[in-house]
Structure 1
Amino acid sequence: MEQKNFEVIIVGGSYSGLSAAMSLGRSLRQVLVIDSGLPCNRQTPHSHNFITQDGEKPAVISAKAKLQVDIYKTVQFYKGLAVKADRIEKGFTITTESGDVFTSRKVLFATGVKDLFPEIKGFGECWGISVLHCPYCHGYEVKGEKTAIIANGEMGFEYAKLISNWTKDLRLCTNGKSELTLEQTQVLQNHGVSVLEEEIDSFEHNSGYISNIVFKNGKKADVKAVYARPAFEQHCSLPQDLGCEINEQGYLKVDFMQKTTIPGIYGSGDAATQMRSVALAVSSGSFAGAAINKELIDEDFL
């Protein structure tokens, strides 16, 4: 790749990054998309709740998106990992793991988050297949099935209320002593939700499809689906290296224009919102692309 200077560098080439690239490509902007090729949903068999793409494989959606973005010749792709970022007088430099250095006036981080799995054997193998985070993305496919939620306290209570819309065969696993109030426990029990306080040892599964939760005391719970919201961290530390603030939930702090707290840096997709879905990632990326283009236009008219 000979070109080193761009108007916009997009770090992260999954759904949100590709959506932003299309918006900017259609705005005639010189864009570089840097992507390491490891989307967070790469293990998920099918994507749902994205109109025109419902039930499609995630990799098929992203491959089709990349082909469509590639039509816009001002957009270039670089396969690799961005490892360093610096501010310069008129923008930013991004350095890759291979030592390549690129400059741009604006940067968009569409780098997603990295899930931190609990110490439960089989959790990682089942993640995105039968261990789920979003009922809007996957709840229909396991509607009415024997289902468990791994959560505790206020989050567990609210999560159980939500999932009860998709199945009445539901139990809340607190994975240790319950932190629910007596009133919350009674409400759940009144709605047929049992509370299991035993610590979890492992999941029995077949190629990621769970059959039993195994507790440390040897007991088992027969389930076909589990909902969980594991801890996470930003997949990429470069925004923080540049001074971008992280909000209380752990996401990039952005305003309604997808701007971070550092001028010239934007954030979109899972890195900047707790609403994790392909459809919303695409939406925020498209909007970020338009916002970046508008900022470039305004600067050039000064």
Structure 2
Amino acid sequence: MAFDVIIIGGSYSGMAAALQLLRARRQVLIVEAEQRRNRFSSHSQGFLTQDGVDPGEIARRAREQLSRYETLNWIDGTAERAEGMRGSFKVTLAGGHEAEGSRLLFATGVSDTLPQVEGLVERWGRSVFQCPYCDGYELMQGNLGVIATGPDSLHQAQFLPEWGKVTLMTNGILELSSDERSALAKRGVEIEERSIRRVEGEADVRLSDGRLRTFAGLFTTSRCRPATPVAEQLGCELEETPFGSQIKTDLQKETTVAGAFACGDVARVPHSVSLAVGDGAWAGTHVHRSLVI
């Protein structure tokens, strides 16, 4: 059968978009590769009514609620290719299965490229974070370390003292001017200029001189890009943001390919579960509008 909308990505933004379309009684196919970006986190904070809930449980409940709508179709699998045009798209899945739809919606999320510091990747989402609104409160105003990745780390360090005592570790990447040092000092931020050897324990940093700095949590900035190249292969343009690249969309969440839309982390900054849900709901209504008008 041909679907009204094929949604590639069945996490928070994709399901939020699907809900709007299902309530308009549209035939929707969700293709979900089960690679949620926050799959390493045990709790989701800052999401109204779901504060502190396991993000996997939020996703499970959402899928259960969507399953009550008879026009939902769901495939657990990976979309490998998308082709076609507005009114006639075809998506090829791993294993060779093909699906056709009038509209496409990319809600694939993004992949993170982290600083090349030993021990950092293993702690991402557990004791190494990016968003203070999502994870800062639970660190109980303890010592917080910022591992520099570039100029944006300066702003991250200036922002974080709301959540604890902050140390900015330049790690040989960030050179600070006298004005920047003064601005950090006004916020009570310590500057650590020894390079980092590795991250140990929960969030401890071993420096090049052998010292061990102990922190309640670490913050850094990842570089993001779409989790799959399918949208690019279709011809959707990307755009650069302070956090990396994302799919370029207009205010109605339509990409540069007519009839193909994008939402969530792959199409907006900044990133959080609540913002992804809102963006998905917005996209879903505009995808429906494009089917009507």
Same fold (TM over 0.5): yes
1:177·1:198 contact (CA, 8 Å) conserved in 2? no
1:77 aligns with 2:74: yes
Identity over aligned residues, as a percent?
Answer: 34
Gaps of 5+ in 1: none
Q: Which residue of 2 aligns with 1:38?
A: 35
1:252·1:267 contact (CA, 8 Å) conserved in 2? yes
Q: 1:116 aligns with which of 113, 117, 141?
A: 113
2:30 maps to a residue whose letter is V
1:191 aligns with 2:178: no
**2:82 is paired with a residue of what secondary structure?**
strand
Deviation, structure 1 residue 177: 5.0
1:222 aligns with 2:217: no
Give, in whole Å, the separation in 2 of the partners of 1:229 and 1:102: 37
1:277 aligns with 2:261: no
Q: Which residue of 2 aligns with 1:165?
A: 162
1:54 maps to a residue whose letter is D
Give, in whole Å, the separation in 2 of the partners of 1:217 and 1:231: 28
Q: Which residue of 1 aligns with 2:281?
A: 286
1:148 aligns with 2:162: no
Larger deviation, residues 174-183 vs 133-142: 174-183
Q: Which residue of 2 aligns with 1:130?
A: 127
Deviation, structure 1 residue 155: 1.3
Give, in whole Å, the separation in 2 of the partners of 1:253 and 1:165: 33
Give, in whole Å, the separation in 2 of the partners of 1:274 and 1:5: 32
User: Pairwise CA RMSD of aligned residues?
Assistant: 1.4
Larger deviation, residues 213-222 vs 55-64: 213-222
Give, in whole Å, the separation in 1 of the partners of 2:5 and 2:88: 9
Q: Which residue of 2 aligns with 1:248?
A: 240
2:148·2:174 contact (CA, 8 Å) conserved in 1? no
Q: Which residue of 2 aligns with 1:21?
A: 18
1:189 maps to a residue whose letter is A
Q: Deviations over 1:220-251 (max 9, x none)?
A: 21111011112222101111111111112211
Give, in whole Å, the separation in 2 of the partners of 1:177 and 1:24: 46
**1:98 is paired with a residue of what secondary structure?**
coil
Deviation, structure 1 residue 88: 4.8
Give, in whole Å, the separation in 2 of the partners of 1:138 and 1:196: 23
Q: Deviations over 1:79-119 (max 9, x none)?
A: 00000111157321100011100010100000011011222
Deviation, structure 1 residue 153: 5.1
Q: 2:61 aligns with which of 61, 64, 86?
A: 64
Q: 1:264 aligns with which of 255, 259, 262?
A: 259
**1:164 is paired with a residue of what secondary structure?**
helix
Give, in whole Å, the separation in 2 of the partners of 1:232 and 1:55: 25
1:11 maps to a residue whose letter is I
**2:90 is paired with a residue of what secondary structure?**
strand
Name the count of aligned residue pairs: 290
Give, in whole Å, the separation in 1 of the partners of 2:86 and 2:129: 45
